[in-house]
């Protein structure tokens, strides 16, 4: 038995008390966090009071709910061990506790994010066209909210890795920490691609409607068949994009009424999809977990499968069925202010939540504040509460530091200037090149996996490609705004 073998319920309660004291203490960090939170809430209240009457508040609520569920799910799934001569060891609770895998049906909400992304992008693109603006200008403005906080994350991780390396930290530990912190980039690759392709995909939607996601789902099915039969399993790589774009297209259909938010449509959609999902996962070849589990030959997210699409369609039905009741609830000022506050830093919360987990592990385990106990044990279950509390505090501090990067917006070009600057061939080429660099860089970082991949802990060519792409998009946006 290791040195934590004598850990007891009393010790677990002591850790919980320490976490509560840390969160509610009166130290300088906590006072700064409280002041920052107060300013953010006042700003959110002002924005909430200025909400246009026609805004679809339900979409903003779902975005906040989805990201909150993703953060909580990732934090709960982390299993950290430390000591025993092996240093840090990390993994997923899903790998060692099979009973937790069905719970991913509650916490896997990325399909909801793509659904509402399609809705919001359709609304935004329609407004752009009404103002006389072009697709290039829209892409530049829409991707800016994604690129700015992502650039801050990658630059900060690079600097931290270089400093840690200079101080003599173990390169393997640096690589592992950076890899964990950059896990959210997997999602961002697909979503950035969906935003960039929105003008083309929305045009296809106007022509073919729901036939577009059906075709994309068929392509996912073809990839699944190739994997299951062993005939050209590499054909399934396209499903990384096809599946998420199919869900994004459903958002278009919701926005223009082809997929109405009526219970008579939504409930049958959810019910039939759930039946299909159960058949595919219980009787069929697909795993129950909607998140990847080590050792499984077929996973529902790597790449996405028909089972994930059935799951996403069921979620879509549930979302549409709840529309009217939740929309009425969101008319309450306090509730809506909270939704606005979360949405103002939504990308910062998502991008930095795994960094908070890394910092929490480094602060809690080597110091002995939190013991490394067996996953699933009563002590482990009880320790989830202080673990979440400490990570929430760390994330709040990170959001206070980096949230302004996301909230900051540049000058908007006038209607004529935006049309003139956003429609030139040179501007379009610069935008495509910049977006391609950002996507290639993010993909390179995401595919690198765990390990020491360079001085910054990430592949240097991928980082340089990303920053070059981000700079190109920044230049294109500057040209757009300067034309006004």
Which segments within 120-167 are labelled E, that is strand? none
C-alpha 300, offset from chain centre: 17
Phi/psi for 304 (5° steps) reads -60, 150
pLDDT at 483 over 70: no
For residue 213, give every residue at least 6 positions away whose Cβ sits within 8 Å of its Cβ, in sequence order, or none: 245, 246, 247, 249, 250, 253
**Pick from 126-140, 305-319, 456-470: least confident:** 126-140
pTM for this entry? 0.86
Residue 395: pLDDT band by 50, 70, 90 thresholds?
A: very high
The residue-averaged pLDDT of 277-304 equals 88
pLDDT at 147 over 70: yes
The count of other CB atoms within 10 Å of the CB of residue 373 is: 20
Separation CA 415–CA 423 (nearest Å): 12
**pLDDT, position 268:** 95
Separation CA 411–CA 141 (nearest Å): 10
pLDDT at 412 over 60: no
The residue-averaged pLDDT of 62-76 equals 92
**Model pLDDT for residues 71-114, shown as the tens digit of each residue:** 999 898 887 766 555 556 667 888 888 888 898 998 899 999 99
**pLDDT, position 428:** 85
**pLDDT, position 22:** 47
pLDDT at 19 over 50: no
**Model pLDDT for residues 233-276, shown as the tens digit of each residue:** 678 888 999 999 999 999 999 999 999 988 999 999 999 999 99
**pLDDT, position 12:** 40
**pLDDT, position 6:** 38
Whole-number average pLDDT of the chain: 84
The DSSP code for 236 is G
Cβ contact 121:195 at 8 Å:
yes
For the chain, percent of residues with pLDDT exceeding 90: 47
Residue 169: pLDDT band by 50, 70, 90 thresholds?
A: confident
CA-CA-CA-CA torsion sign (70, 73, 75, 78): negative
Angle subtended at Cα 387 by Cα 390 and Cα 378, rounded to the nearest 5 degrees: 155
The residue-averaged pLDDT of 329-354 equals 91
């Amino acid at each position: 038995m290791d040195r934590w073998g004598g850990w007891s319920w009393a010790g677990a309660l002591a850790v919980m008390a320490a976490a509560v004291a840390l969160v509610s203490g009166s130290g300088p960090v906590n006072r700064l966090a409280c002041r920052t939170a107060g300013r953010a809430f006042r700003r959110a209240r002002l924005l909430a009071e200025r909400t246009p009457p026609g805004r679809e508040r339900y979409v903003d609520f779902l975005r906040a709910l989805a990201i909150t569920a993703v953060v909580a799910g990732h934090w709960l799934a982390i299993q950290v061990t430390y000591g025993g001569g092996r240093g840090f060891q990390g993994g997923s609770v899903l790998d060692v506790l099979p009973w937790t895998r069905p719970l991913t049906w509650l916490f896997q909400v990325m399909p909801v994010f793509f659904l509402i992304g399609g809705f919001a992008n359709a609304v935004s693109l329609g407004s752009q066209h009404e103002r006389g603006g072009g697709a290039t200008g829209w892409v530049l403005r829409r991707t800016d909210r994604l690129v700015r906080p992502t650039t801050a994350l990658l630059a900060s991780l690079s600097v931290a890795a270089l400093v840690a390396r200079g101080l003599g930290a173990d390169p393997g530990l640096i690589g592992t920490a950076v890899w964990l912190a950059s896990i959210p980039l997997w999602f961002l690759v697909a979503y950035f691609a969906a935003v960039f392709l929105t003008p083309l995909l929305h045009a296809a939607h106007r022509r073919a409607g729901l036939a577009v996601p059906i075709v994309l789902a068929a392509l996912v099915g073809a990839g699944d068949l190739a994997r299951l039969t062993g005939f050209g399993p590499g054909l399934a790589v396209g499903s990384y994009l096809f599946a998420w774009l199919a869900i994004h297209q459903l958002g278009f259909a919701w926005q223009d009424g082809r997929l109405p938010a009526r219970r008579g449509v939504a409930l049958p959609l959810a019910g039939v999809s759930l039946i299909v999902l159960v058949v595919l996962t219980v009787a069929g070849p697909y795993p129950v977990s909607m998140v990847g589990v080590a050792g499984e030959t077929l996973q529902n997210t790597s790449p996405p499968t028909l089972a994930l699409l059935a799951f996403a369609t069921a979620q879509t039905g549930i979302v549409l069925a709840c529309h009217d009741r939740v929309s009425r609830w969101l008319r309450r000022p306090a509730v809506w202010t909270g939704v606005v506050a979360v949405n103002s830093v939504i990308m910062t919360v998502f991008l930095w939540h795994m960094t908070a987990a890394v910092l929490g592990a480094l602060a809690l385990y080597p110091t002995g504040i939190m013991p490394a106990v067996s996953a699933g044990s009563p002590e482990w279950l009880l320790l989830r509460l202080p673990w979440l509390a400490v990570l929430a505090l760390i994330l709040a501090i990170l959001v206070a530091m980096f949230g302004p990067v996301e909230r900051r917006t540049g000058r908007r070009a006038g209607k004529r200037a935006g049309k003139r600057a956003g429609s030139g061939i040179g501007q379009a080429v610069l935008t495509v090149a910049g977006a391609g660099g950002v996507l290639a860089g993010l993909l390179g970082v995401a595919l690198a996996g765990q390990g020491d991949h360079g001085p910054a802990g990430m592949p240097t060519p991928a980082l340089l490609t990303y920053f070059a792409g981000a700079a190109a998009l920044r230049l294109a946006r500057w040209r757009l705004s300067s034309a006004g």
